[in-house]
Amino acid sequence: MARSPIPRRREIRLDQPLERGRLRSPSYDPESFGRFSERIARFIGSWTFIAWMTVVIVAWLLFNIFAPESIRPDPYPFIFLTLLLSLQASYAAPLILLAQNRQSDRDRVQYLEDRAMTERVMADAEFLAREIASLRLALGDIATRDYLRGELRDAVEEIARQMDARIDAQGDPSAGKHDNP
């Protein structure tokens, strides 16, 4: 007897555990679900939603008050309207919380990025402060242009005084030469 090319599914037996991966829970993409919940939360928190919700509720009330009694779906205590609003709120609250959780996750990531950036800026500022301090120390050992000018001026004045003193001590030899023709 030849085997068929298509393998037969193993029979599921109740006395044996299932293989891993046999029963899989439904999967979803949390990122796309999160984006969807944020869009809904953003819409629910808008004036557009409030306006449409007001129009629907007013229309519901007017229809159930002024329509003939035979076609009114929700007479005066408006129990069905209350049920619909409770259902809407029961779905809106978790979606708003999901959106807030995603926002707090984004805020936390932004905070960590800002903190890392601040640490880098502070490290750069400390490095630059150390560099400026080392340059100031190095410049303290180097003669600046103003310092050299002042020293040269002092040296020229000192030389001029010494020459005047020598000339005064020797007498003016040039005075006699200029007087004799």
- Residue spans per domain, the chain: 31-143
| Alpha helices per DSSP H over the chain | 30-44, 47-66, 79-141, 145-170, 173-179
CB 81 within 8 A of CB 60: yes
Query: What is the average per-residue pLDDT within 59-68?
Result: 93
In this predicted model, what pLDDT tens digit does every residue of 164-181 receive, in sequence order? Answer: 999 888 875 555 555 444
Q: Is the pLDDT of residue 65 over 50?
A: yes
How is 38-89 classified by DSSP, letter by letter?
HHHHHHHTSHHHHHHHHHHHHHHHHHHHHS-GGG-SS-TT-HHHHHHHHHHH
Residue 38 CA to residue 31 CA, distance in Å, equals: 11
Query: How far is 174 from 177, CA to CA, in rounded Å?
Result: 5
Q: Quick one: pLDDT at residue 131? A: 93
Please tell me the least confidently modeled range out of 35-39, 83-87, 113-117. Answer: 35-39
* pLDDT one-digit tens code per residue, 2-58: 555 554 556 667 777 766 655 567 777 888 888 888 999 999 989 999 999 999 999
pLDDT of residue 181: 45
Mean pLDDT of 81-100: 92
Provide the whole-model pTM: 0.51
Give the pLDDT confidence of 134-162 residue by residue, as tens digits.
Answer: 888 877 767 778 888 999 999 999 999 99
Q: Two tokens at 42?
A: 């953003």
